[in-house]
Amino acid sequence: MERADLERFFNPRSIAVIGASEKPGTVGRAIMMNLLEAFGGEVYPVNLKYETVFGLKCYRSARELPKAPDLAVIAVPAASTPRVVEELCELGVKSAIVISSGFREVGEEGARLERELVERARACGMRIVGPNCLGVYDAWSRVNTIFNPGDRQALPDPGSVAFISQSGALGAALLDWLAEAGIGMSKFVSYGNASDVKEWELVEYLAYDNRTGIIAIYVEGVEDGRRFVDGLRKARTAGKPVVILKGGRTLSGTRAATSHTGALAGSPEVFLSAARQAGAIAVENVGELVNVLKLLEWFGPPRGRGLAVVTNGGGAGVLAADAAEAEGLRVAALSEETVKRLREVLPPAASPYNPVDVLGDAPPERYREAIDVVLGDGGVHSVMVITLMQSPAFDPPRFVELLRDVRARAQKPIVLVAPGGEYTVRHAKAMERGLRIPYFRSPEEAVRALRLTVEWFERSSRGDTIR
């Protein structure tokens, strides 16, 4: 793989849209609108039905384009795609995204069509992402070939998380989720059937991408397990966590994966074992994927297993301690100096030991003092803050205001646990956005995210394989 082969997908100067349209509800319209909204380069619509599309001259075929664009986005019926690729090859186009479905995922005739598509592309040195995919989004260059309308599809701001997804629809939903959570993104690729550009190539490319610090993957199956694992190792060597969500871990899921993208799902146990040994973080569901990304993007992994808990409810602190021990973390024994300082800032009835119980009548000021003190303890590597917001003494906006300076100085991960209903969820999300502190609804969820990330840190620091 030449890096330049993939670079054109993310930083093209010009893009042709084959199947461009203004017709409401069409893929061609959504792609055109998304490109015209933010992309700063040239856009060439191609469709034999129109003279113009959104005020731009529309070309009847790729052969009529005035020059070879850096990238072509193909959104026409599957049967037409080999002919379109051949026309683009004649023009000298080297990169194309095939949005169209109706290939390997639908059976043998579709598989034959997909082979023909790839053969024609390779004959002229063209690289293809797809087919049967959602497209590419680069938050920095503003390339957006996703075909979902902008009023339905939120996109993350620029950041360090790259996300590659075998599923376009799931990828779109997760983009929406990451945008709401405020997680910054470098690049997103929905690669679909991976007929040409493979997942291992994308991982390797991202391992050396300067704008990417974390790689997230939704994958159903890989064709070349050795190359994929090698890509994971390169990411680990580069100091970049790779977070994998594997689809097709059961017999039913494997069958669904085959009909979804034509994936060779293989043995999920072997796949996940190899991925872990190569340094990846394997998560079990989409919620856990987002939780781990929040922690990594906003703080990085804990540098040890010592956890401190600050809570206004004793029972919640007990559950947090149970969860920590069950997941292999350590409820840190606070130093004598830390306990002394906590006694000075907390009421006599409060517990200065870990879990630190600041009592049910704790206002935000009391939380701030306790959190600041335990963050300074050398045996503490992460802090769980539990807020039971049903207490009338707890003022969420005031909490955000008071914690801003503590958050700005924090060199250790802080996680927020806020069990409760509508009032709690609404304010906890606002606290998460205001402070960039990951919010969880239970201690167990928070502890698992901490455990997964600290294990990655330990293994990366030692260069070990994963158990």
Q: What is the pLDDT of residue 148?
A: 92
Given this model, what pLDDT does residue 261 score? 52
Task: Output Rg (C-alpha) for the chain, integer angstroms.
Answer: 25
Which pLDDT does position 4 carry in this prediction? 77
Q: Quick one: which of 125, 135, 151 has its CA closest to 99?
A: 135
What are the percentages of helix, strand and coil residues in the chain, rounded to 5? 45, 20, 40
| H-helix or E-strand spanning residue 210 | none
Cα dihedral 109, 112, 118, 120 sign: negative
Q: What is the number of other CB atoms lying within 10 angstroms of the CB of residue 23? A: 12
For the chain, the structural domain boundaries read 1-133, 154-298, 300-462
Name the residue among 432, 302, 441, 313 with its Cα closest to residue 380.
302
Q: Can 1-133 and 154-298 be said to share one CATH topology?
A: yes
Contact criterion met (CB below 8 Å) for 97 and 71: yes
Locate 420 and state its tokens: 């409760």
Helices (H), 22-80: 27-38
Q: Assign 466 a pLDDT band (cuts: 50, 70, 90).
A: very low
- The pLDDT tens digits for 430-456 are 999 999 999 999 999 999 999 999 999
1-133: CATH topology: Rossmann fold (3.40.50)
Question: Could you give the C-alpha distances from 301 to 17, 98, 457, 461, in angstroms and in order?
Answer: 41, 37, 6, 11
3-state class of 74 per DSSP?
A: strand
Angle, in degrees to the nearest 10, between helices 268-277 and 225-237: 30
Assigned token pair, 317 = 């602190």
CATH class label, 300-462: alpha beta
405 and 413 Cβ atoms separated by less than 8 Å: no
Q: Is 318 exposed, middle or buried (0-12, 13-18, 19+ CB in 10 A)?
A: middle
Say if residue 355 is preceded by a cis peptide, omega within 30 of 0.
yes
Residue 232 exposure: Cα atoms within 13 Å on the Cβ side: 28
Per-residue pLDDT tens over the stretch 80-111: 999 999 999 999 999 999 999 999 999 999 99
| Spatial distance between the Cα atoms of 38 and 348, rounded to a whole number of angstroms | 58
The residue type found at 333 is A
In CATH, the architecture of 154-298 is 3-Layer(aba) Sandwich (3.40)
146-189: pLDDT as tens digits = 999 888 999 999 999 999 999 999 999 999 999 999 999 999 99
Distance CA 145, CA 97 (A): 9
**257: its two tokens:** 């994966």
Nearest of 226, 119, 214, 114 to residue 161 by alpha carbon: 214
Residue in the structure block whose two tokens are 């301690």:
321
The reported pLDDT for the residue numbered 462 is 74
Least trusted range by pLDDT, from 213-217, 258-262, 284-288, 330-334: 258-262
pLDDT at residue 301, rounded to an integer: 97
Query: 326: number of CA atoms within 13 Å, CB side?
Result: 12
Burial-class residue 441 by CB neighbours within 10 Å (0-12, 13-18, 19+): middle
CA nearest neighbour of 33 among 147, 135, 155: 147
Share of the chain above pLDDT 70, in %: 95
C-alpha to C-alpha distance for 52 and 55, rounded to whole angstroms: 6
Q: How far apart are CA 425 and CA 442, in angstroms?
A: 12
* Dihedral sign of CA atoms 395, 400, 405, 411 in order: positive
- Quick: pLDDT tens for 246-293: 997 655 655 555 454 554 556 788 899 999 999 999 999 999 999 999
**pLDDT confidence of residue 26:** 95
Give the separation between CA 359 and CA 364, rounded to whole angstroms.
Answer: 12
Q: What pLDDT sits at residue 464?
A: 53
Position 249 scores a pLDDT of: 66
The answer to whether residue 344 scores a pLDDT higher than 70 is yes
Q: 72 and 35 in contact (C-beta within 8 Å)? A: no
The letter for the amino acid at 80 is: S
Average pLDDT of 28-53?
97
What is the model's pLDDT at position 116? 97
Half-sphere exposure of 14 (CA within 13 A, CB side): 12
Q: How far apart are CA 181 and CA 437, in angstroms?
A: 10
The pLDDT score that the predictor gives to residue 251 is 57
Tokens of 106: 């639908």
* C-beta of residue 88 within 8 angstroms of C-beta of residue 126: yes
- The gap from C-alpha 273 to its chain's centroid, in whole angstroms, comes to 21
Residue 190 · residue 173 · CB < 8 Å: no
- Average confidence score pLDDT of the chain: 94
